Structure 1
Amino acid sequence: MTDTGTDTELDRIERSIDIDAPADRVWALVQRPGWWINEQEVDANPELREEDGHTVLVHPTYGEFRLRTLEQDEPRYVAFHWVDNVAPEAGTTVEFWIDERPGGVTLRVVESGFSRLRKDRAAIDQQITENTHGWEVELEAARRFVLRSAA
């Protein structure tokens, strides 16, 4: 796992992980809106539905999450708007890059836009701290999921 940065002044989290798998296998996971919303293990068959231009992921424990795909460049890049449940226009942007490397790929995530959330600075800083740890957990979950799917 590479810690490539958390900067509350720049309003972003950036993390990456090396995965010993081809880009198309990693893409099959990361192009799916909300794959990272789980309990430390990627759900192979999440409950998803389309509603008002958004993908709604229904998590059995955490409830509903709304996401909108902003851009895709298969199999290298995808960006999502992770809608804030309180203020839908004020969510964060989650971007994934898949970069080839010898023996596999590097999967990189950037989550940005925390300052757009309708929260005070202390709450934003707390969310950045929690999400920073969360991305470390989720990238490792992605690696395990992709490697298991190859077996």
Structure 2
Amino acid sequence: MGNVRQDVIEATVDIFATVEAVWKLVSEPGWFINGGAIAPHKIETDGAFSTVHDAIYGKFVFETVTLDAPHYAAFRSLGGDYWDDPVPNTMVEFWVEATNAGATRLRVMESGLAAFVDGEHARVISTKTQGWTAEMLAAQRHLSRN
């Protein structure tokens, strides 16, 4: 049957902020491109396509696939300056829900990773797993009520 390649990365974090505050962040294309702290981006929008300009990493293009406020957002990553990802394009999905503990749970799932070529697949999985852990913590720091 052969090796089954990992296709999906998921991460979850609880944030002491309102569902609306978390939604405002995650509904912005490319909010997760940063140097470990949430920073404002210049965003150029053309229909469903957004070009996100980050001061550190350059520009990235995203297609907004679904915005179902305030609970679900999906974007297709179409590449950028910093990551020299030879196609394929991945899907990045966010779920936002209130918890019984008064927090808001943010979950991310990035899929489409199995399509990366052999030499790149392990590196992409490792880099993106570390990246999502860092970005979820950055969102938590940025939005948590003191």
TM category, shorter:
0.7 to 0.9
Shift of the alpha carbon at 1:60? Answer: 1.9
Please say if 1:37 is aligned against 2:36.
no
In structure 2, C-alpha distance between the alignment counterparts of 1:108 and 1:52, rounded to whole Å:
26
Same amino acid, percent of matched pairs: 32
Q: Structure 1: give runs of 5+ residues left out of the alignment.
A: 1-7
Quote the RMSD (CA, aligned, Å): 2.1
TM-score by length of 2: 0.86
Which residue does the alignment assign to 2:42? Answer: 47
What is residue 89 of structure 2 aligned with on the other side?
Answer: 91
Q: Matches of 1:52 and 1:19 in 2, distance apart?
A: 31
TM-score by length of 1: 0.83
Structure 1 residues 2-59: Cα deviation after superposition (integer angstroms, max 9, x where no partner): xxxxxx724010010011111001001000000000000001x211112474100111
2:24 to 23, 28, 34: 28
Partner residue, 2:57: 62
Alpha-carbon distance, 1:116 to partner: 3.4
Counterpart residue type for residue 75 of structure 2? F
Q: Classify the secondary structure of the residue corresponding to 1:90.
A: coil
Residue in structure 2 matched with residue 72 of structure 1 by the alignment: 67
Verify: 1:126 aligned to 2:123, yes or no.
yes
Residue identity in the other structure for 2:56: T
**Structure 2 unaligned regions, length at least 5:** none
SS in 1 for 2:34: coil
Counterpart Cα distance in 2 of 1:134 and 1:123: 16
Q: Which residue identity lines up with residue 65 of structure 1 in the other structure? A: F
For 1:75 and 1:96, the matched residues in 2 are separated by 10
- The aligned residue for residue 111 of structure 2 is 112
Structure 2: which amino acid aligns with 1:97? W
Change in 2 beyond 3 A, CA 1:53/1:96: closer
The 4+ residue runs of structure 1 with deviation greater than 2 A are 84-90
What number of residue pairs does the alignment pair up? Answer: 139
Amino acid at match of 2:89: G
Q: Is the 8 A contact 2:48 2:65 kept in 1?
A: no
Amino acid at match of 2:132: W
Matched, 1:11 2:7: yes
Distance 2:71 2:59 in 1: 27
Secondary structure of the residue aligned to 2:79 is coil
Cα distance in 1, alignment partners of residues 35 and 140 from structure 2? 15
